[in-house]
Amino acid sequence: MTPTMYSPDGRIYQVEYAIETVKRGTLAIGIKTQNGVLVAVEEKARALQTSNITQKIFQVDRHIGVAAAGYIPDARIQVDRARLFAQSNKIAYDESVEVETVSKHLADQCHQFTQYSGVRPYGVSLIIAGVDQKGESVYVTDPSGTYVSFAAVAIGAGAEEVNDFLEKAYADNITLEEGAALAIAAVNLKSHNEDGVKHIKMAFISSDTKSLEKVSDEDLQKYSKLALEKFKNNA
């Protein structure tokens, strides 16, 4: 079965298999707030693994970050192409690329890999979050080539339950700090860990600086306490 073949009932199995790969990946979350955006992932390091290096959060440009769920090597390839695209846009137009433009570019590449024989669809979904001339944005791409804008979204294992939780707990006027707390509460919803943060990596982009910053372990602990105070009743 090649990516170009439809089944008799109108399905493309290779694309559906790729989407299933995403559903088996560890959880990733993106949240838009009134003063920035953030991405968070569940990432459990092995005993001897260097824990301060994030494997599933990437920086595309100064003002754009990506979180991935699924087959991470595919994510690295897409992020490399997004970086090249962002820098080419800067050289050509002398301005930072818009978040939606990067999202569409990556979605177009995903769609191309559903059309040609001899290749397979990317087995990864990406949350692309950033702050540009239009404000704060969070997009999700999937292996089919779809890209959709969200205020808050989860992808990966258990995403349906986490998205239900986000729908209940999210508010349009949420701050960046409250968004970080919400992301921790959402990750811990599926990990059955009410207050731990060792398994969580996070980065945010403030609307003021428009620059990706990694959230320290100390700040994660602080946001974890806020999560228990503010969102425990929504779980």
**Global pTM value:** 0.93
Domain map (residue ranges) of the chain: 13-234
The pLDDT score that the predictor gives to residue 195 is 57
The pLDDT score that the predictor gives to residue 231 is 82
Distance CA 144, CA 3 (A): 10
The pLDDT score that the predictor gives to residue 230 is 83
The pLDDT score that the predictor gives to residue 194 is 55
The pLDDT score that the predictor gives to residue 209 is 95
Architecture of domain 13-234: 4-Layer Sandwich (3.60)
Copy the structure tokens of residue 230: 């503010």
User: pLDDT digit string (tens) for 33-74?
Assistant: 999 999 999 987 777 777 777 889 999 999 999 999 999 999
Measure Cα distances from 88 to 75, 95, 210, 221 in Å.
Answer: 20, 10, 19, 39
Residue 151: strand, helix, or coil: coil
Copy the structure tokens of residue 15: 């694309």
pLDDT, mean of each 10-residue run, the chain (235 residues): 75 90 95 97 81 87 97 96 97 96 97 87 97 96 97 96 96 95 91 73 96 94 90 68
Distance of CA 163 to the CA centre of its chain: 13
| Phi/psi at 120 (5° precision) | -125, 155
| Phi/psi at 30 (5° precision) | -130, 135
Residue 210: strand, helix, or coil: coil
